[in-house]
């Protein structure tokens, strides 16, 4: 009778060993050949958007295009509307395009030089900051838009990426350095100790037809959202830095859903993606006073929570077309216009719409769930609904029979985050290029976001307890089998 007991004991030893072994949070996802060919195609289409819809003379990239390749035209309100943030993504797209053989280095350098020359010498700037919307042909302000701090920061993400990728080109390096160093982050505080303003508008007649003087926007970056690269670039600014402690004045608000808990100011998933496409938050943790956030893990959790939300019975009973692979909500076009929506919690307007760039922008965090989602969307609805076209996925679609809707546009920022996230998943290249900027690396050090290994993170203490409880249970089992 000793043999079965021995087996049980052997099993217990194995369980104990596996519990005590140092546990890595994220087993590296290994891309299959099929994953790679899917991503090759998706990325090349995304790249094509940026190459085809940027003006070769000034580099300005359209905000959007039709899924079949046409630019907005005629009476379309988006005709000739370029976006400063899109242009930042375009700069990174050129680097990826060279690396993957879709354009020559010389072609990419020509585009990059045109873009940087425009922003260094021709684009209107105030204290180094740029407008949000610009006319692609004339370079003039559009839509009475604001001088935008977040859009300028996203442009800087691209500008600092090309500064490193084309480091052999002295002109590119000089222009990029000039543009970054000119940005006066202290001015954008508009007198506040820590919170940067969303932007500034020149004197004129506003949307309400009322005349107004020059003014800063009232909104400020007060909490954890898509803008952390803005805060970090400000802290590391060579000429106009703001205090690193301002990082710890950002409010921290958590969302809890189905056992997941993550920091987020608002529900759209893009807030966990944009700054993360540039700043490499992997394997790092805050080490300052009581703060110990792992920002990369936070984005993973936000992605997992969103998928869990769409898979939940509660969601599916109202919208049965959502499933483990058909999900995703982040700011997007909808049948009712643009919405800065997301989940969890449930958005009152949720109606079965799927926004592919929610999963696309999270490829770099949780490939095992996001890649399978994108592949399933393409195979189920690519042909049947026409959701996968010249630039990859449409911005949004709704397969629910009650709606059966496909958006006719792609949006540059959504195509862009998908492209960068896919590249980071595959090679880590955007992180590598961007983080070669000494300012980027210094910024993380200055705010005390340091390699997680340097010091055991205080939070690990909380995971010890349940493990000890299990060890005790197993030891008791051991004792029980010994006395059998
Ligand atoms: C923070 O979260 C709480 C609870 O989720 C919410 O009531 C509150 O409005 C949030 N605060 C901010 C500033 O978003
Ligand atoms: C949701 O879908 C319905 C049905 O197609 C549509 O009438 C409504 O405008 C949609 N709302 C949003 C926010 O997409």
**Percent of the chain at pLDDT exceeding 70:** 88
Residue 22: the pLDDT is 44
Q: Which ligand is nearest to the CA of 265?
A: 1
DSSP 417: H
Place of tokens 């394997």: 283
Percentages helix, strand, coil for the chain (3-state, rounded to 5) are: 50, 15, 40
Q: Which ligand is nearest to the CA of 257?
A: 1
What digits encode the pLDDT tens for the residues 87-117?
999 999 999 999 999 999 999 999 999 999 9
Pocket test for ligand 2, best of 336, 340, 348 (most atoms within 8 A of CB): 336
Residue 453: the pLDDT is 75
Stated as kind and residue range, the H or E segment containing 95 is helix 84-99
What long-range pairs does 440-444 form, CB within 8 A, spacing at least 24? 440/160, 440/232, 440/236, 440/278, 440/279, 442/236, 443/232, 443/233, 443/235, 443/236, 443/279, 444/232, 444/279, 444/281, 444/284
- Ligand 1 atom closest to Cα of 256? 5
CA of 253 to the centre of ligand 1 (A): 6
Q: By three-state DSSP, how is residue 349 classified? A: coil
pLDDT at 16 over 70: no
Residue 480: the pLDDT is 61
Atom 6 (ligand 1) nearest CA: 253
Q: Which residues of 267-305 are buried (b: 16+ CB within 10 A; e: fewer)?
A: bbbbbbbbbbbbbbbbebbbbeeeebbbbbbbbbbbbbb
CA of 373 to the centre of ligand 2 (A): 22
Of the candidates 228, 226, 221, 173, the one whose C-alpha atom is nearest the C-alpha of residue 195 is 221
CA of 397 to the centre of ligand 2 (A): 11
Pocket of ligand 2 (CB under 6 A): 334-336, 339, 349, 351, 353, 402-403, 405
Q: Which ligand is nearest to the CA of 335?
A: 2
**Contact between 273 and 362 (Cβ < 8 Å):** yes
**Contact between 376 and 357 (Cβ < 8 Å):** no
305-314: average pLDDT: 98
Pocket of ligand 1 (CB under 6 A): 251, 253
What digits encode the pLDDT tens for the residues 419-472?
999 999 999 999 999 999 999 999 999 999 999 876 654 444 444 445 555 555
Cα angle 14, 283, 149; round to 5:
150
pLDDT at 71 over 60: yes
217-225: average pLDDT: 98
Atom 5 (ligand 2) nearest CA: 403
Can you tell me the distance from the alpha carbon of 395 to that of 415, in angstroms, rounded to the nearest whole number? 8
- Any idea where the domains of the chain sit in the sequence? 29-482
Residue 311: the pLDDT is 97
Of the candidates 241, 253, 301, the one whose C-alpha atom is nearest the C-alpha of residue 276 is 301
Q: Counting beta carbons within 10 angstroms of the beta carbon of residue 6, is it exposed (0 to 12), middle (13 to 18) or buried (19 or more)?
A: exposed
CA of 467 to the centre of ligand 2 (A): 48
- CATH fold for the domain made of 29-482: Glycosyltransferase (1.50.10)
CA of 266 to the centre of ligand 1 (A): 9
Of the candidates 226, 244, 237, the one whose C-alpha atom is nearest the C-alpha of residue 177 is 237
DSSP 119: I
Can you tell me the distance from the alpha carbon of 149 to that of 203, in angstroms, rounded to the nearest whole number? 18
Q: By three-state DSSP, how is residue 80 classified? A: coil
Residue 28: the pLDDT is 84
**Contact between 176 and 159 (Cβ < 8 Å):** yes
How far is C-alpha 97 from the chain's CA centre?
Answer: 20
176-183: average pLDDT: 98
Q: Please provide residue 308's backbone torsions phi and psi, each rounded to the nearest 5 degrees.
A: -60, -40
What digits encode the pLDDT tens for the residues 346-382?
999 999 999 999 999 999 999 999 999 999 999 999 9
Q: Kindly state the tokens that stand for 209.
A: 């037809």
- Ligand 2 atom closest to Cα of 335? 14
Q: Kindly state the tokens that stand for 187.
A: 């001015």
């Amino acid at each position: 009778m000793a043999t079965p007991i021995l087996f049980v004991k052997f099993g217990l030893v194995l369980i104990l060993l596996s519990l005590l072994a140092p546990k890595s949070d994220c087993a590296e996802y290994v891309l299959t050949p099929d994953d790679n060919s899917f991503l090759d195609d998706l990325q090349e289409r995304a790249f094509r958007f940026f190459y085809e819809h940027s003006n070769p003379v000034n580099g300005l990239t359209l905000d959007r295009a039709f899924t079949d390749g046409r630019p907005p035209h005629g009476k379309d309100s988006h005709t000739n509307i370029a976006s400063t943030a899109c242009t930042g993504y375009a700069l990174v797209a050129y680097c990826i395009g060279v690396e993957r053989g879709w354009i020559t280095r010389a072609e990419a350098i020509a585009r990059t030089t045109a873009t940087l020359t425009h922003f260094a010498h021709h684009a209107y700037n105030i204290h180094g900051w740029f407008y949000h919307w610009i006319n692609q042909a004339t370079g003039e302000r559009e839509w009475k838009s604001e001088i935008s701090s977040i859009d300028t920061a996203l442009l800087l993400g691209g500008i600092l990426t090309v500064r490193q990728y084309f480091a052999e080109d002295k002109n590119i390096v000089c222009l990029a350095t000039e543009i970054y160093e000119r940005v006066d982050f202290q001015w954008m505080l508009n007198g506040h100790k820590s919170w940067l303003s969303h932007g500034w508008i020149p004197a004129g007649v506003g949307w309400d037809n009322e005349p107004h003087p020059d003014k800063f926007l009232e909104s400020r970056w007060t909490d954890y959202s898509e803008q952390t690269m803005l805060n970090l670039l400000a802290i590391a600014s060579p000429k106009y830095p703001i205090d690193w402690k301002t990082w710890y004045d950002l409010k921290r608000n958590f969302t809890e859903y189905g056992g997941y808990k993550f920091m987020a100011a608002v529900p759209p998933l893009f807030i966990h993606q944009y700054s993360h496409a540039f700043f490499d938050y992997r394997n790092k943790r805050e080490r300052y006073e009581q703060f110990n956030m792992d920002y990369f893990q936070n984005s993973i959790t936000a992605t997992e929570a969103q998928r869990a939300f769409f898979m939940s019975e509660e969601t599916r009973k109202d919208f049965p077309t959502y499933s483990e692979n058909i999900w995703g909500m982040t700011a997007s076009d909808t049948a009712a216009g643009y919405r800065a929506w997301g989940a969890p919690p449930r958005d009152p307007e949720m109606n079965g719409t799927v926004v592919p760039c929610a999963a696309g922008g999270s490829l770099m965090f949780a490939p095992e769930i996001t890649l399978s989602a994108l592949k399933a969307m393409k195979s189920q609805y690519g042909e049947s609904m026409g959701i996968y076209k010249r630039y990859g996925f449409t911005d949004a679609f709704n397969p629910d029979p009650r709606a059966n809707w496909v958006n006719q546009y792609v949006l540059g920022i959504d195509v862009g985050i998908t492209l960068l996230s896919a590249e980071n998943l595959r090679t880590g290249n955007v992180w590598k290029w961007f983080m070669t900027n000494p300012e980027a690396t210094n910024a993380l050090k200055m705010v005390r976001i340091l390699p997680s290994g340097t010091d055991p993170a205080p939070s690990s203490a909380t995971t010890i307890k349940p493990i000890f409880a299990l060890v005790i249970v197993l030891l008791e089992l051991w004792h029980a089998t010994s006395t059998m």
